[in-house]
Amino acid sequence: MKINPLNKLAQSEMLNKHINKVIKDDMFGAKTLVALNVTKDVFAYAIRFKTTMQNEKIPEEKRPFVASMDLMSGVVTAIMQIGVGFSLAHHKIQDIIWDKFFKNCNFKDIVAAKKGFSQIMALIGSTILAERILVPLIATPFAEKFGKKFFPHKNKENINYSHFISIEEFNKDIKDYSK
């Protein structure tokens, strides 16, 4: 008789303990969701790094920076999502957010509503706030430094892959545009 590996996994004591803990502890459930989402993102960024390094459509001199950007985005995304997600999953933070949104609402089963809300807030908050807002601001400077250190260009000249304008240039551009 052949045993299905999924059946074996579903009947494992470790998985059943984990599921029971998720059901009983909303903070643990929220952290599990965040950790699974981060795992998915880390895997995706690793694949992106590998394919970027092999992508011949990207010019060879720019490939290291693009790959570094993928790698640093993955690292910063993982760290930021865990930090934001685990913070949002904390009971004290959840109570503050819950009171802000639902102070005057009455639910039949407030315990179930709060559990679901904490898990959704941790997952959505970590994804939107960390991955879409904070990561692009932080990953770019790290990617430039990482690329220069680990992917030195074959030419002796030092190539700057990013361009940051000064406040003076920005103000001049604004004035020129508004004329």
Chain segment 33-87, per-residue pLDDT in tens:
899 989 998 899 889 888 988 888 888 877 877 888 888 888 888 888 899 889 8
Q: Of 139, 122, 124, which is closest to residue 45 (Cα–Cα)?
A: 139
Q: Does 95 map to a domain? A: yes
Q: Does 158 map to a domain? A: yes
- pLDDT-derived band at 155 (thresholds 50, 70, 90) equals very low
Q: Does 86 map to a domain? A: yes
Helices (H) and strands (E) in the chain, counts: 8, 0
Q: Does 1 map to a domain? A: no
Number of domains in the chain: 1
- pLDDT-derived band at 159 (thresholds 50, 70, 90) equals very low
Q: Does 6 map to a domain? A: no
Query: What does the alpha-carbon distance between residue 43 and residue 40 come to, in Å, rounded to a whole number?
Result: 5
Q: Does 91 map to a domain? A: yes
